[in-house]
Structure 1
Amino acid sequence: MATPRSSWPNEMARSSAASWCATMQTTTPSIDRTSAALVCLNQPTMPMLRRHCSIARLNGPPTILTAHNPPYYQQLIESCGFAKAKDWYAWWFADPAKAAARLRPLAERFRKRWPVTIRPGNLRNIREESRRLRQIYNQAWEKNWGFVPFTEAEFEFMTHELKQLVIPDFTLIAEVGGEPAGFILCVPDINIALRHINGRLTTFGLPIGLIKLLYYKSRTRTARLIALGVIEKHRRTGIAEMLVLRIVEDAMIKRGFTGELGLTLEDNFMINRFLEAIGAERYKTYRIFKRTLT
């Protein structure tokens, strides 16, 4: 489960991405003339974080690091010759207590069999923690559709961007024998607070927007689970179950949070069945489109 990124050479050699200019209900793909030798064009995209097109289930406003668009975008994109490449799902946890009740027996059973240590992220040593998370991420997702390894600079940038939102209990690292084995990253949904300031931190020179932002940020009780990953050799040892249980118990139940999980690939049947089994509801679908160039 992850926030996907912008290109996927593992699946499509000689591919590129289209940017779009959309005004009202017209759209024009802007394609570099040098792409004539390409065999595939992928859309929609943005640097580092892939901008999906929301389709079908547009329930609620966008959460942090997710896209949102008018419903007619799907028709416009398809009218330009694009077809579905892959769908991604977002899930909603409406009842964390129910999830904890289902996870607890599984996690306890695995905990007795495997020596796993789970600790919160150390924000005082953010550079070293960033290195560990990047190591886990690149190994855990390397076989996923569309995966591109994070460079050190990219991951440091992402860490810097999210640092102000990260809460130690919401970022957990699993270790086996002192070595990183998995991690889970959850952040409060700052979008809820941002909606109250209407894009302005000041009014008539007064920091009214900033005060509102800080006020609503402290009262936000919605989070988004951005990433959950376990290195392949440590899978099926209960690490994922233990990580999710800790987040549900410590972040959601104790602090009164509900929230979104995602995104997951439509054909990642194992993680999708797992989320359904613990009571998560699939409530949004995002799509990546592709077009073969002839």
Structure 2
Amino acid sequence: MTINSAPSNDLTVLPVRNAKQLSLFIKLPRVLYSHFPNYIPPLDFEEVSLLHPKKSAFFRYGTAQYFLAYKGDKVVGRISAQIDPNALREWKEPIGLFGALDAIDDAEVVKQLINAASNWLKKQGMQKIRGPYTLNANSEAGTMVKGQSEPPMIAMPWHPEYLEKHIAAAGLSKAMDLVSYQMIMGEEARKAHKIPSGLKVGSDRLGNITTRKLNMKEISRDGEILRQLYNDAWDNTWGFVPLTPTEMSVLIRDLKSMLKPENYVLVEQNKMPVAVALVIPNIYDISAGIAPTPSLFGWGKLAYRAMRHRFKSARVILLGISHSIRDTAMGALMPSLVIDELFNRGEALPYTMIELGWILEDNMGMRNLIERITPEPCKVHRIYEAELDYKH
């Protein structure tokens, strides 16, 4: 598939070259989408952590170019093009990435943004484009194609309904859908989630199985256990890129103030880690009424709400089952044990809803387990790709 055409006379796409343009690039979605009642802008420090070259973990190993689209002097869209060397090694294909794609409801704007990213990737020797990823596969992923009216969730991008059709019209095809589910915490969900009778962690047939919480004094060590188990669990699955130590350290840095010991579920068999899950509180729950760029008073509110853990919802962002037990009866049971443990921690974790996602659409084992509790995905995010018009 060739992605190439001349831009319209009144439309210009230019690379981001200075600090002022970078600031505009980072804040642009709130300008473009402010008139949508279901759009709630993230806090600026979250976006800076994702996108600013001096803050994002991605730039410690990857390269990227940002672009802005202009109609006259009005900025109408943005996109990033990036090379992730970890993805190139894992996928063993010259696949470049795009991300941070946001635009007005104009097919030509989206097309020319994708053209700009594609042309930059071709100059880097890439033969295929895939995304959106902001900025890599272990961060925000996909274009939202379902769930625009659902409550916002941490690290889950929001896009208007028109964006998917404009991406398709620009020549990109669906590569994979990423699905998410809302698990309403309570007795009804607990009854829907049943593990076989007679199976209780630490006794009888599960006598060698134990669970533990996050050790706040050894948070870096527990983060490394999480990273290694996650990488082991998802190796060789579609689109997988190993989580790096740097990415894990940045994740811990950004989340430490919001985490409680109960947000981390580690399952051990004979004292060896075999399964892990990390539940992160939804920062949108405590940012209500606070501007995207908080005042000093706003920062105080955020800190107070975080300290008091005034969250109502959360998201499971990392869940992994060790390869050593994956194809065993114990491995099949492990996701159920992790979910059961989350229910057991209901008093310590004040969440009325936990979002499970994202999950690859073809991971039917995990989806079938979750759909016993909640039958339909609440959100769908789509990854696209296309062959580039590549010439040596």
Give the TM interval when normalised to the shorter protein: 0.7 to 0.9
Equivalent residue, structure 2, for 1:246: 341
User: Take 1:254 and 1:51, find their aligned partners in 2: how far apart are those partners?
Assistant: 27
Alignment partner for residue 178 of structure 1, among 244, 247, 271? 271
User: Take 1:148 and 1:162, find their aligned partners in 2: how far apart are those partners?
Assistant: 21
Q: Check conservation: 2:285, 2:312, Cα contact below 8 A.
A: no
Q: Check conservation: 1:186, 1:225, Cα contact below 8 A.
A: yes
Q: Secondary structure at the match of 1:145?
A: coil
Equivalent residue, structure 2, for 1:40: 128
Q: What amino acid maps onto 2:190 in structure 1?
A: A
Equivalent residue, structure 2, for 1:97: 187
Equivalent residue, structure 1, for 2:95: 15
User: Take 1:252 and 1:39, find their aligned partners in 2: how far apart are those partners?
Assistant: 51
User: Take 1:77 and 1:164, find their aligned partners in 2: how far apart are those partners?
Assistant: 37
* Per-residue Cα deviation, 1:234-284 (whole angstroms, up to 9, x for no partner): 233122211111112313797352221111010000000000113364111
1:233 and 2:324 are equivalent in the alignment: yes
Q: Mean Cα displacement is larger for which, 54-63 or 263-272?
A: 54-63
Q: Mean Cα displacement is larger for which, 244-253 or 218-227?
A: 244-253
Equivalent residue, structure 2, for 1:275: 370
Change beyond 3 A, Cα 1:258–1:141: same
Alignment partner for residue 221 of structure 1, among 293, 298, 312? 312
Equivalent residue, structure 1, for 2:168: 78
Q: Check conservation: 2:185, 2:354, Cα contact below 8 A.
A: no
Q: Mean Cα displacement is larger for which, 55-64 or 106-115?
A: 106-115
User: Take 2:377 and 2:220, find their aligned partners in 1: how far apart are those partners?
Assistant: 34
What are the residue-to-residue correspondences of 1:122-161 with 2, within 5 Å?
Answer: 122-161=215-254
Q: Check conservation: 1:93, 1:281, Cα contact below 8 A.
A: no
Q: What amino acid maps onto 1:225 in structure 2?
A: V
Q: What amino acid maps onto 2:301 in structure 1?
A: K
Alignment partner for residue 69 of structure 1, among 159, 184, 187? 159
Q: What amino acid maps onto 1:177 in structure 2?
A: N
Q: Mean Cα displacement is larger for which, 143-152 or 43-52?
A: 43-52
Equivalent residue, structure 2, for 1:212: 301
Equivalent residue, structure 2, for 1:55: 145
1:119 and 2:212 are equivalent in the alignment: yes
User: Take 2:101 and 2:160, find their aligned partners in 1: how far apart are those partners?
Assistant: 14
Q: Check conservation: 1:15, 1:38, Cα contact below 8 A.
A: yes
Q: Check conservation: 2:315, 2:356, Cα contact below 8 A.
A: yes
* Per-residue Cα deviation, 1:9-42 (whole angstroms, up to 9, x for no partner): 4556111013466442222122244615433111
Equivalent residue, structure 2, for 1:192: 285
Q: Check conservation: 2:182, 2:377, Cα contact below 8 A.
A: yes
Q: Secondary structure at the match of 1:195?
A: coil
RMSD over aligned CA atoms reads 2.5
Q: What amino acid maps onto 2:384 in structure 1?
A: F
Q: Mean Cα displacement is larger for which, 20-29 or 186-195?
A: 20-29
Q: Check conservation: 2:141, 2:381, Cα contact below 8 A.
A: no
Structure 2 unmatched ranges of 5 or more: 1-57, 59-83
Q: Note the C-alpha offset of 1:110.
A: 6.5
* Per-residue Cα deviation, 1:148-199 (whole angstroms, up to 9, x for no partner): 1122222111122221221111211111122111111112111122232022
Structure 1 unmatched ranges of 5 or more: none
Aligned residues: 286
Equivalent residue, structure 1, for 2:13: none
Q: Note the C-alpha offset of 1:95.
A: 4.5
Change beyond 3 A, Cα 1:147–1:252: farther
Change beyond 3 A, Cα 1:20–1:178: closer
User: Take 1:244 and 1:144, find their aligned partners in 2: how far apart are those partners?
Assistant: 22
Q: Check conservation: 2:336, 2:369, Cα contact below 8 A.
A: no
Q: Note the C-alpha offset of 1:216.
A: 4.7
Q: Note the C-alpha offset of 1:292.
A: 1.2
Asked which structure has the greater RCO (Cα within 8 Å, sep 6+), the reply is 1
